[in-house]
Amino acid sequence: MKAVFVTEPGGPEVLEVRDVPAPVPGPGEVLIDVVAAGLNRADVQQREGHYPPPPGASEILGLEVSGRISGFGPGVAKPFSKGDKVVALLAGGGYAQQVAVPAEQVLRIPEGVDLVTAASLPEVAATVYSNLYMTAQLQAGETVLIHGATGGIGTMAIQMAKAFGAVVATTAGSQEKVSTAKAYLNADIAIDYTREDFVDSLRAQNGGKGADVILDVVGAKYLDKNIDALETYGRLVVIGLQGGRRAELDLGKLLAKRLAVIGTSLRPRAVAEKGVIMDAVRDAVWPLVADGTVKPLVAKTFALDQVRAAHRYFDSGDHVGKVLLLL
pLDDT (tens, 9 = 90+) of the chain, 327 residues, equals 999 999 999 999 999 999 999 999 999 999 999 999 999 999 999 999 999 999 999 999 999 999 999 999 999 988 999 999 999 999 999 999 999 999 999 999 999 999 999 999 999 999 999 999 999 999 999 999 999 998 899 999 999 999 999 999 999 989 999 999 998 899 999 999 999 999 999 999 999 999 999 999 998 899 999 999 999 999 999 998 888 889 999 999 999 999 999 999 999 999 999 999 999 999 999 999 999 999 999 999 999 999 999 999 999 988 889 999 999
Residues 131, 243, single domain; the answer is yes
Q: Specify the 3-state DSSP secondary structure of 238.
A: strand
User: Exposure of 182 by Cβ count < 10 A (0-12 exposed, 13-18 middle, 19+ buried)?
Assistant: middle
Among candidate residues 243, 263, 283, the one where a domain is terminated: 263
> Longest C-alpha distance within the chain, in Å?
59
The CA angle 148-220-133, to the nearest 5 degrees, is: 55
* CA 161 – CA 200 distance, rounded (Å): 22
Q: Residue 188's closest CA among 165, 216, 208?
A: 165
Among candidate residues 223, 244, 263, the one where a domain is terminated: 263
Q: Specify the 3-state DSSP secondary structure of 261.
A: strand
CATH number, residue 192: 3.40.50.720
Residue type, 215: L
Please give the model's pTM, rounded to 2 decimal places: 0.94
State which residues form the domain around 26.
2-121+267-326
CATH number, residue 299: 3.90.180.10
